[in-house]
Amino acid sequence: MGENGVRVLLIEDDEDDHFLVKTLLAEVSSNGSPKKYHLEWAPSYEQGMTLLSAGGYDVCLLDYRLGSRDGLELLREAVGRGCDIPIIFLTGQGSDEIDLEALRTGAADYMSKDQLSRQSLERSIRYSMANKQRELAERALRHSESLAAMGRALSTVAHDIKTPLIAIGGLTQMVCRHLESDSEDRKKLDIVLKETARLEKMVQDMLEFSKPLEVEKSLENPCRLVKETLSVVQKAAEDNGILLEANLRECSGVALDTARMKQALINLLMNGVQASPAGTTVRINLHRQGREVIFDVTDCGCGIPFEKRAEIFSPFFTTKKNGTGLGLPIVKKIVDAHNGRLEIRDNPDRGVTFRVALPVFP
């Protein structure tokens, strides 16, 4: 809820019903309610979905009848996209089955339009918002508890694997020195070395992910940070036939943990490189927007469907043969530790943009 009151989105194709809700909310606002209600009206399914996805609302009132489509369909789509504001379903009289289906689908409450009153509307909004807040807080707690448990398990396993892995890599290198570089045995051991290095990175990621992240901020020039990051990813980009491009428009100092932020940008750039077809460009765009410095990493890959956008941040979720699935969870952790925001945006043509927004004055 914003400082200026409750922002309500009404998705309703009937102008009279819009007028009714508007009048009732205006009455609530002018009848001593400590909160003011600001109503925005979406008269169609499509406009409703667009505004809901854009965000910025505290609660949504959703009509069942929406032209040729219906509110249940919209509710399903919104829940699938991870909508996290309460949606109150508005139906006609005697629609018990639909009301129950709406609750099963994820509606916070339902109200019959014939019985709408100032009090009932205000009460439903207030309760739905309070319930949603509690639900989100409980979910966040469960999530952090399960992450902590997973972190402890990971840390133990990773430590146990790390030492023998270092021994395998070191001893293999020693044996390699005594072999001709083009011998069959040497080629086999080169594969052992390559795979060991991959496992070492995996173990490193597991340890990184499992320990609490402490950031050490210092004043850093973000242009330099981006340039250094690009040089790390350059070789992998070339191997994949990808061009790397930078557009750097913000070069005043920002307080951040250089090593951590580099790591976050490397993970995003590597994902972009791995997702993009050869011959395309992965871009990093740096600019300032208000009190934030923005790093946009844009690729021309397959994109990420809305319903997958929560899943890709789960530890070990990967669709790659050699992926660990810790890249994005680590990015999220680093960005959170900087009090920043991590967003996924669709590009107008193809691919996605991962946006890291950091406060300039943390």
Ligand X SMILES: Nc1ncnc2c1ncn2[C@@H]1O[C@H](COP(=O)(O)OP(=O)(O)OP(=O)(O)O)[C@@H](O)[C@H]1O
Q: Which of residues 287-346 bind ligand X (CB under 6 A)?
A: 299, 301-302, 304, 312, 317-320, 323-328
Q: Which of residues 197-226 bind Mg ion (CB under 5 A)?
A: none
Count of positions on this chain that bind ligand X (CB under 6 A): 21
CB of 271 to Mg ion, least distance (A): 4
Using CB under 5 A, which of 105, 229, 271, 285 touches Mg ion? 271
Residue 211's SS3 state is: coil
Q: Letter for the amino acid at 46?
A: E
- Name the β-bridge partners of 110: 89
Q: Which of residues 318-347 bind Mg ion (CB under 5 A)?
A: 327
Q: Which is nearer to ligand X, 127 or 313 (CB)?
A: 313
Contact (Cβ atoms closer than 8 angstroms) between residue 334 and residue 315:
no
CB of 272 to ligand X, least distance (A): 5
DSSP E strands in the chain: the ranges are 6-11, 37-42, 59-63, 65-66, 69-70, 87-91, 109-112, 218-220, 243-248, 254-256, 281-289, 292-298, 341-346, 352-359
Residue 251's SS3 state is: coil
Burial class (CB in 10 A: 0-12, 13-18, 19+), 58: buried
Q: Which partner, Mg ion, ligand X, none, binds residue 99 by CB below 5 to 8 Å per kind?
A: none
Residue 352 interacts with ligand X (CB under 6 A)? yes
* CA 61 vs CA 3, 89, 108, 124, 329: distances in Å: 21, 6, 10, 10, 34
Q: Which is nearer to ligand X, 257 or 299 (CB)?
A: 299
Q: Give the span between the Cα atoms of 98 and 171, in whole angstroms.
A: 68
Q: Which partner, ligand X, Mg ion, none, binds residue 119 by CB below 5 to 8 Å per kind?
A: none
Q: Which is nearer to Mg ion, 86 or 329 (CB)?
A: 329
Using CB under 6 A, which of 29, 91, 271, 280 touches ligand X? 271
Kindly list the residues in this chain that would bind Mg ion in the complex (CB under 5 A): 271, 327
Kindly list the residues in this chain that would bind ligand X in the complex (CB under 6 A): 205, 267, 271-272, 275, 299, 301-302, 304, 312, 317-320, 323-328, 352
